[in-house]
């Protein structure tokens, strides 16, 4: 039950990885179907399948369809043999999911949280949520084997530390990975929030099975995650997708929180919408926003603009349409450059109504090259606000299931006597 | 000498691919060093090395360094056992190289050529150049095993056909790959010119060993090739990198050959420089250009502007500086998005002087995010105008040396009795 895979050479590992991927993706697998799919000899496939059964990652699962003789035995991935945690730290909220090894949520928790409270307080809070989730949703015998984390700023993926994140005072260089790893004694992987969300959409959302796509988050800030050939493209310094600070209005005086002027985010992000909403409430051009402000609200938000647009306030409609047009104009250039087959739009502002998506689409199709938009879809995120925590869980799962990682944790898997239903209930 | 590899399963193929890559990249390899590098058993490595020797791709190459006992036998890649052709079709010229299996040129030919003469005339000309190069530079026993082609427009890589190329009348949908493959009875791969140039820079130029970079061609038109994680990112429709038609001047009246207005290419490409040069010659604001036009020249070119700038003509300096600034401004956004570690600038206009590169650099560093430029280099192409034909040869070589392709051509390799010097002289 607890023997690690026997060798660690690339030849052996490649087959272990291939078999794991096949069994995870197929509804039913037998040694014969795997032999056929890999094109390899029956002996070597049986050997490696048995190794994976010994480690506890696969198990025998009854009989498949007979093709004449005795029905072959099926094998299946033991998704219930361990669990992982996905953490999404937002600018103003925390989301934590407990999932099985297939990324299926067993339980989750979300709450408001101010990221400016710093890493110590935030990670203490995450520790306590993890404890409660495990106590409530997980059979005691099922081990936690990994944690994935998304942070709202640039992260050096190799070390799991934030790098000069603009909206996270106190987090610059803080060893987020090491802090969580030593507390929970499991593998921890930390990435920026849009990469994590893109991975969530790739593994379990709108982009399932898509090879080249962009995930665009329109929240307080604006950012993108890039997938090239089915893999996250993180870029050289891990900051690929930082589209919020592309200069879109040369010569404008609008300052951005990054210190430059005329950035996309300063014109079309959630914070920009909130700023413009306040101005329109104060000068009376939006009756809806003026009334909200009159109710003793200290400030307005992008959600207020979305609600105003839904109620028919013309200024709110204009604000969202203009923001969508500016985002779409920038995306049009990036689409000509990257030629994705799908753009997934997510984030709080985008999810607050259909108007922004419609406006983004209009600009994208008007301004991208015909060849680049020939088979392009622009869709709302299917995972909605959960893309982050689900994607964070997959950030850990994808790394855990690489052959070189298997030896480090599979000895801890729960024994096979556990019925699958108990863990996935 | 002519036995194809024995099996075609992924396990076997992965090791064949790994061993080929290692032997090609190392100056000396022995079975022992390969065993160590792969982390696999000596028996299986020896088996697969012997298979590769049987196919004729590797050969024994004397004795390596002794570590006590008898010195181990070295193996080396038989780059001289076959040759490939790389073809770069430009808007106004043809370049064809004959190379060995390591992409090292054995001979080449370049000549002016008008791509609007259409595919039949162009490929007839290519056929005749290939015949002359083989006759002049290649021992009769060395077989031609592949052809790579770069075309100045969008290409569907899977089928090797141009797709609605704007400056290539008559080429749309023409079966370039099939036409060359049936004539020469070898594998043929066709891609757009900037992808081919990016691959040339990756395998043998400025970007050697770089994982994430952009190749930007500034010629008559403007285009880019993207490399993500060491692989070409071609995009969903094969048109990634089409940056010449990103709208950079919204609301301008400047028409582009693509039918839109305000495209980067219409403002800063070679054709735009030629157009502006003519205007400045006619209105007298550039004495240098006016004198050229006075010499009965029917039109002016971007090269004239570069020459004028070198001779100190202020208008020419301004034209190049403005073009560089516009290109750099667009690149700044793409750099924030893609986070490469290197941008290689090539193409006729860029190569005609240092002023454009200096101006591009200035805009890029001023407008990209500090994180994205922290370790960014912006360099002139080292392969210069040969990036296309060398890259085209590598387009074929990279495909030929994938394990699934080996069985289709290695039976034709030249026998091992041929001394290496004869082929590489």
Query: A330: which chain B residues are within 8 Å (Cβ-Cβ)?
Result: 333
- Closest residue in A to B45 (Cα–Cα): A11
Distance CA A81, CA A208 (A): 24
Q: Answer whether residue B131 shows pLDDT above 80.
A: yes
pLDDT tens, position by position, B299-320? 899 999 999 999 999 999 999 9
Distance CA A362, CA A331 (A): 11
* B259 Rama sector, left if φ>0, alpha if ψ -120 to 50, beta otherwise: left
Report residue B209: phi and psi, to 5°: 85, 0
User: Across the interface, which of A224, A333, A339 has its CB nearest the CB of B237?
Assistant: A339
The three-state secondary structure class of A342 is strand
Cα dihedral B312, B316, B322, B327 in deg (nearest 10): -100
pLDDT band at B417 (very low <50, low <70, confident <90, very high): low
The three-state secondary structure class of A300 is coil
Percent over 90 (pLDDT), chain B: 60
Q: Which residues contact B363 (CB under 8 A, 6 or more apart)?
A: B324, B325, B326, B327, B328, B329, B331, B332
Length of chain A: 425
Distance CA B243, CA B404 (A): 34
Closest to B142 measured CA to CA, from B417, B392, B403, B408: B417
Distance CA A330, CA B330 (A): 11
Q: Which letter, b or e, does each residue of A92-107 get, where b requires 16 or more Cβ atoms within 10 Å of its Cβ?
A: ebbbbbbbbbbbebbb
Residue B272 contacts residue B263 (beta carbons within 8 Å): no
Among A242-251, A275-284, B78-87, B184-193, name the one with the lowest average pLDDT: A242-251
Supply the pLDDT for residue A73.
86
User: What is the nearest CA distance from B245 to chain A, expressed in angstroms?
Assistant: 7
DSSP state of A418: S
Q: What angle do CA B240, B245, B251 make, to 5 degrees?
A: 145
Q: Is B250 exposed, middle or buried (0-12, 13-18, 19+ CB in 10 A)?
A: exposed
Token pair belonging to B379? 């360099």
Among A44-53, B73-82, B284-293, B415-424, name the one with the lowest average pLDDT: B415-424
DSSP state of A71: P
Query: In this predicted model, which residue has the larger pLDDT, B352 or B59?
Result: B59
Residue B93 contacts residue B110 (beta carbons within 8 Å): yes
Q: Chain-centre distance of CA A172, in angstroms?
A: 22
Rounded to whole angstroms, the maximal C-alpha distance in chain B is 82
Q: Which letter, b or e, does each residue of A110-127 get, where b requires 16 or more Cβ atoms within 10 Å of its Cβ?
A: beebebeeebeebbebbe
Supply the pLDDT for residue A35.
85
- The 10 Å Cβ neighbour count of residue B196 is 31
User: Across the interface, which of A18, A233, A242 has its CB nearest the CB of B369?
Assistant: A242
Taking an 8 Å cut-off on Cβ atoms, the answer to whether B247 and A15 are in contact is: no
Query: A262: which chain B residues are within 8 Å (Cβ-Cβ)?
Result: none
Report residue B126: phi and psi, to 5°: -60, -45
Taking an 8 Å cut-off on Cβ atoms, the answer to whether B247 and A333 are in contact is: yes
Residue B340 contacts residue B372 (beta carbons within 8 Å): no
Closest to A206 measured CA to CA, from A326, A89, A350, A415: A350
pLDDT tens, position by position, A104-155? 999 999 999 999 999 999 999 999 999 999 999 877 789 999 999 999 988 9
Supply the pLDDT for residue B10.
54
Q: Answer whether residue B165 shows pLDDT above 70.
A: yes
Token pair belonging to A7? 């060798």
Residue A397 contacts residue A187 (beta carbons within 8 Å): no
Closest to A282 measured CA to CA, from A272, A273, A292: A292
Q: Answer whether residue B423 shows pLDDT above 70.
A: no
User: Across the interface, which of A239, A246, A371 has its CB nearest the CB of B333?
Assistant: A246
Radius of gyration over every alpha carbon of chain A, rounded to an integer in angstroms: 24
Supply the pLDDT for residue A64.
67
DSSP state of A53: H
* B228 Rama sector, left if φ>0, alpha if ψ -120 to 50, beta otherwise: beta
Q: Is B358 exposed, middle or buried (0-12, 13-18, 19+ CB in 10 A)?
A: middle
Interface with chain A: mutation pick from B163, B243, B338, highest number of A CBs within 10 Å = B338
- Closest residue in B to A153 (Cα–Cα): B371
Q: Answer whether residue B353 shows pLDDT above 90.
A: no
Element (H, E) at A333: helix A314-338
Percent over 90 (pLDDT), chain A: 60
Mean local confidence (pLDDT), B209-232: 94
Q: Is B150 exposed, middle or buried (0-12, 13-18, 19+ CB in 10 A)?
A: buried
Q: Which residues contact A329 (CB under 8 A, 6 or more apart)?
A: A248, A363, A367, B247, B250
Supply the pLDDT for residue B175.
97
Q: Which residues contact A172 (CB under 8 A, 6 or more apart)?
A: A162, A163, A164, A165
Element (H, E) at A330: helix A314-338
Supply the pLDDT for residue A378.
95
Residue A83 contacts residue A100 (beta carbons within 8 Å): yes
Taking an 8 Å cut-off on Cβ atoms, the answer to whether A39 and B234 are in contact is: no
Q: In the predicted model, what is the mean pLDDT of chain B?
A: 88
Among A155-169, A320-334, B210-224, name the one with the lowest average pLDDT: A155-169
Closest to A346 measured CA to CA, from A213, A194, A232: A194
Taking an 8 Å cut-off on Cβ atoms, the answer to whether B339 and A15 are in contact is: no
User: Across the interface, which of B18, B237, B239 has its CB nearest the CB of A10?
Assistant: B18
User: Across the interface, which of A40, A245, A336 has its CB nearest the CB of B246?
Assistant: A336
pLDDT band at B221 (very low <50, low <70, confident <90, very high): confident
Among A165-174, B257-266, B389-398, name the one with the lowest average pLDDT: B257-266
Write down the residue that tokens 């893999």 correspond to. A231
User: Per residue, what are the HEC states of chain B?
Assistant: CCCCCCCCCHHHHHHHHHHHHHHHHCCCEEHHHHHHHHCCCHHHHHHHHHHHHHHCCEEEEEECCCCCCCCCEEEEECHHHCEEEEEEECCCEEEEEEEECCCCEEEEEEEECCHHHCHHHHHHHHHHHHHHHHHHHCCCCCCEEEEEEEECCCEECCCCEECCCCCCCCCCCCCHHHHHHHHHCCEEEEEEHHHHHHHHHHHHCCCCCCCCEEEEEECCCEEEEEEECCEECCCCCCCCCCHHHCECCCCCCCECCCCCECEHHHHHCHHHHHHHHHHHHHCCCCHHHHHHHHCCCCCCCHHHHHHHHHCCCHHHHHHHHHHHHHHHHHHHHHHHHHCCCEEEEECHHHHCCHHHHHHHHHHHHHHCCHHHHCCCEEEECCCHHHHHHHHHHHHHHHHHCCHHHHHHHHHHCCCCCCCHHHHHC
Supply the pLDDT for residue A417.
63
Q: Is B420 exposed, middle or buried (0-12, 13-18, 19+ CB in 10 A)?
A: middle
Q: Is A135 exposed, middle or buried (0-12, 13-18, 19+ CB in 10 A)?
A: exposed
Q: Which residues contact A227 (CB under 8 A, 6 or more apart)?
A: A198, A202, A207, A210, A211, A212, A213, A214, A215, A233, A340
Closest to A221 measured CA to CA, from A171, A252, A191, A258: A258
Mean local confidence (pLDDT), A252-279: 88
Angle between helices B354-367 and B314-338 in degrees, nearest 10: 40
Distance CA A86, CA A103 (A): 9
Supply the pLDDT for residue A71.
77
Taking an 8 Å cut-off on Cβ atoms, the answer to whether B228 and A229 are in contact is: yes
Among B3-7, B179-183, B256-260, name the one with the lowest average pLDDT: B3-7
- Closest residue in B to A338 (Cα–Cα): B240
Distance CA A416, CA A78 (A): 8
User: Across the interface, which of A38, A237, A333 has its CB nearest the CB of B371?
Assistant: A237
Taking an 8 Å cut-off on Cβ atoms, the answer to whether A371 and B228 are in contact is: no
Query: In this predicted model, which residue has the larger pLDDT, A240 or A384?
Result: A240
Bridge partners, residue B222, by sequence? B218
Radius of gyration over every alpha carbon of chain B, rounded to an integer in angstroms: 24
Taking an 8 Å cut-off on Cβ atoms, the answer to whether A234 and B371 are in contact is: no
Taking an 8 Å cut-off on Cβ atoms, the answer to whether A236 and B211 are in contact is: yes
Supply the pLDDT for residue B64.
67
pLDDT band at A92 (very low <50, low <70, confident <90, very high): confident
Task: Give the global pTM.
Answer: 0.87
Distance CA B342, CA B320 (A): 22
Query: B260: which chain A residues are within 8 Å (Cβ-Cβ)?
Result: 367
Query: In this predicted model, which residue has the larger pLDDT, B44 or A1?
Result: B44
Q: What angle do CA B27, B31, B35 make, to 5 degrees?
A: 100
Q: Answer whether residue B344 shows pLDDT above 50.
A: yes
Distance CA A409, CA A148 (A): 15
Taking an 8 Å cut-off on Cβ atoms, the answer to whether A15 and B15 are in contact is: no
Bridge partners, residue B98, by sequence? B85, B107
Query: In this predicted model, which residue has the larger pLDDT, A42 or A321?
Result: A321
Write down the residue that tokens 């290692």 correspond to. B22
- The 10 Å Cβ neighbour count of residue A375 is 12
Token pair belonging to A136? 């409530």
Supply the pLDDT for residue B351.
83
Length of chain B: 425
Q: Answer whether residue B425 shows pLDDT above 90.
A: no
pLDDT tens, position by position, A60-91? 887 766 667 777 889 999 999 999 999 999 98
What are the CA-CA distances from residue B301 to residues B16, B110, B263, B396 (Å)?
50, 20, 19, 34
């Amino acid at each position: 039950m607890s023997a690690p895979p026997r060798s660690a050479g690339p030849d052996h590992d490649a087959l272990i990885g291939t078999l794991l991927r096949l069994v995870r993706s197929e509804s039913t697998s037998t040694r014969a179907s795997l032999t056929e799919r890999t094109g390899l000899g029956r002996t070597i496939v049986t050997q490696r399948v048995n190794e994976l059964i010994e480690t506890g990652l696969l198990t025998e699962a009854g009989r498949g369809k007979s093709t004449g003789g005795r029905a072959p035995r099926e094998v299946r991935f033991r998704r219930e043999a361990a669990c992982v945690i996905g953490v999404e730290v937002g600018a103003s909220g925390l989301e934590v999911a407990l999932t099985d090894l297939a990324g299926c949520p067993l339980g989750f928790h979300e709450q408001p949280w101010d990221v400016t409270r710093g890493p110590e307080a935030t990670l203490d809070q995450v520790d306590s949520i993890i404890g409660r989730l495990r106590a409530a949703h997980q059979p005691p015998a099922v081990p936690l084997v990994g944690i994935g984390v998304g942070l709202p700023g640039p992260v050096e993926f190799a070390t799991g530390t934030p790098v000069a994140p603009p909206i996270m005072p106190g987090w610059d260089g803080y060893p987020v990975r090491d802090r969580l790893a030593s507390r929970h004694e499991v593998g921890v992987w930390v990435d920026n929030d849009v990469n994590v969300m893109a991975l969530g959409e790739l593994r379990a959302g709108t982009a399932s099975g898509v090879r080249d796509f962009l995930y665009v988050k329109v929240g307080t800030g604006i950012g993108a995650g890039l997938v090239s050939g089915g893999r996250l493209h993180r870029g050289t310094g891990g900051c690929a997708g930082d589209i919020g600070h592309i200069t879109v209005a040369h010569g404008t005086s609008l300052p951005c929180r990054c210190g430059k002027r005329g950035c996309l985010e300063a014109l079309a992000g959630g914070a920009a919408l909130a700023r413009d909403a306040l101005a329109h409430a104060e000068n009376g051009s939006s009756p809806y926003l003026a009334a909200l402000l009159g109710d003793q609200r200290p400030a307005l938000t992008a959600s207020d603009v979305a609600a105003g647009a839904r109620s028919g306030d013309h200024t709110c409609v204009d604000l969202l349409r203009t923001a969508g047009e500016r985002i779409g104009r920038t995306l049009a250039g990036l689409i000509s450059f990257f030629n994705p087959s799908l753009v997934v739009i997510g984030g709080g502002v985008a999810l607050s109504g259909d108007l922004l998506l419609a406006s983004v689409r209009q600009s994208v199709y008007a301004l991208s090259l015909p060849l680049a938009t020939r088979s392009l879809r622009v869709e709302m995120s299917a995972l909605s606000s959960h893309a982050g925590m689900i994607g964070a869980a997959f950030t850990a799962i994808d790394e855990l299931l690489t052959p070189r990682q298997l030896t480090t944790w599979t000895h801890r898997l729960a024994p096979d006597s556990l019925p699958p239903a108990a863990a996935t209930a």
